[in-house]
């Protein structure tokens, strides 16, 4: 099982990761940082989210998960020290209890409805701030990095 299991997501300021489950995310401005941070690591992605990706995830070990997969079983197959969970909302919720870090990039959008960061109820997480990474200063987009401390 990886030492670090990092949830990484672009979100709207009202907490959505997509307008609907089949949306191809073109509004996210952090894809260059996502690529830089995830190359060489393992990635867990829900099967629906995987279908919406525009670019192939090269140089990464990819685990496409389905609803009935058990997170502990999937994570036990991963030999790399760092694993990123990249979505969607159901996958984030399912793996929430295993997450050690969150890399969240709020974007200046309000959808009002859609796919929430966590589509299902999860246990409360206490987070410790690590750092802020600049994504696009002119647009006011920054990635906030946290460690789960509970």
Taking only the tens of pLDDT, the chain with its 150 residues reads: 999 999 999 999 999 999 999 898 888 999 999 999 999 999 999 999 999 987 788 899 999 999 999 999 999 999 999 999 999 999 999 999 999 999 999 999 999 999 999 999 999 999 999 999 999 999 999 999 999 998
Structural domain total, the chain: 1
SS3 (DSSP) at 76: helix
* Nearest one of 61, 32, 48, 45 to 143, comparing CA atoms: 32
**Quick one: tokens of 148?**
């789960």
Q: What CATH number should be reported for the domain holding residue 142?
A: 3.40.430.10
For 16, the domain range is 4-148
CA torsion through residues 104, 130, 120, 50, sign: positive
- pTM check: above 0.75: yes
């Amino acid at each position: 099982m990886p030492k670090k299991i990092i949830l990484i997501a672009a979100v709207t300021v009202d907490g959505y990761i997509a307008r609907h489950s089949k949306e191809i995310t073109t509004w996210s401005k952090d894809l260059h940082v996502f690529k830089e941070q995830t190359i060489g690591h393992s990635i867990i992605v829900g099967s629906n989210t995987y279908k919406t990706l525009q670019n192939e995830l090269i140089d990464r070990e990819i685990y496409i998960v389905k609803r009935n997969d058990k997170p502990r079983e999937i994570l036990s197959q991963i030999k790399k020290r760092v694993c990123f969970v990249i979505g969607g909302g159901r996958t984030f919720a399912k793996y929430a209890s295993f997450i050690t870090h969150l890399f969240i990039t709020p974007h200046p959008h309000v959808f009002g409805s859609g796919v929430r960061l966590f589509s299902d109820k999860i246990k409360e997480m206490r987070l410790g701030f690590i750092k802020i990474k600049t994504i696009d200063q002119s647009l006011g987009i920054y990635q906030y990095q946290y460690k789960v401390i509970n």
